[in-house]
Amino acid sequence: MVMTDVPAKIVYERPEALDPRVTHYCPGCTHGVAHRLVAEVLDEMGETGNTIGVASVGCSVFAYNYFNIDFVEAAHGRAPAMATGIKRVYPDRTVFTYQGDGDLASIGMGEIVGAASRGEGITVIFINNANYGMTGGQMAPTTLPGQKTSSSPTGRDTKRQGYPIQTAEMLSTLEGSSYIVRRSLHSSREIRRAKQAIRTAFEVQKHGLGFSLVELLSTCPTNWGMSAAGARDWLEERMLPFYPLGDYKISPAVAELKI
């Protein structure tokens, strides 16, 4: 056996913030990727032991089972209010919500707009997969025009069912929001960009610069009725045109932030 003098170096391992257990998420679902990105960022920032997460109602209702950090579980849509309560009594802790599109953009629209407009110093990880995942793929506020779901079986008819909500664009109009961006989890390149955005969002909070939100376009192969690869393609072809990736709000203070 030839020994080399190159020392072994760990280049990839499970983040400390992530619990070593199998998730309940479907194969091909991007929740696992999003969880991992959040965990990596909290570890890299040294915030894992200083963070309180707020889980929401939806497929990520049990997100707290997968993180090694303090967590509370909110009522449907109310995570930003719960996070506000925690952040106000613990301003030096990192507080984040992890919410899906039904939770945040439908039933919880009041709470997210309230938190953003107050410039609440929390970070929101917003998973947009264009349907209600946990209840079996019903039409969500983010469902695309014409998209078939279990409650829009002939496709979303905009005459009867209206139009999807572009959350990042909408929240970016609020003076209280500081960092609002949309990223996607459909390719390695976009996943890396998503991680950078998540890092920036948490840095915004750590520096006391106000409300930060990262919208992550995500796949739901099971409810979309597609393979994992097919779902990634569908996201790229159908979701990206309606939900363009980009930075929708970078406040002047955030723009000066050096990471």
The footprint of other proteins (CB under 8 A) covers 16-17, 48-52, 54-55, 61-62, 64-65, 67-75, 78, 81-86, 88-90, 93-94, 110-111, 113-114, 117-118
Smallest gap from residue 134 Cβ to other proteins (A): 12
The 10 Å CB-count burial string (b at 16+, else e) for 141-154 is bbbbeebbbebbee
| Least distance from other proteins to the Cβ atom of residue 91, Å | 8
Name the 3-class secondary structure at 70. strand
Specify the residue, 50 or 135, whose C-beta has the smaller distance to other proteins.
50
Provide, rounded to whole angstroms, the least separation between the CB of residue 48 and other proteins: 4
Tokens of 111: 């709470």
Token pair listed for 51: 């963070």
| Cβ within 8 Å of residue 225, ≥6 positions away | none
Q: Dihedral, CA atoms, 102, 219, 136, 162, nearest 10 degrees? A: 50
Partner residues linked to 183 by β-bridges: 216
In the complex, minimum distance from the CB of residue 69 to other proteins, in angstroms, rounded to a whole number: 5
Give CA separation, 5 vs 1, 30, 243, in Å: 13, 39, 50
Q: By C-beta, is 91 or 146 nearer to other proteins?
A: 91
Q: Measured from the CB atom, is 65 or 187 closer to other proteins?
A: 65
| Pick 71 or 242: Cβ nearer other proteins | 71
Can you read off the two tokens belonging to residue 235?
A: 């996201």
Q: Which is nearer to other proteins, 79 or 191 (CB)?
A: 79
Min CB(135)–other proteins separation in Å: 14
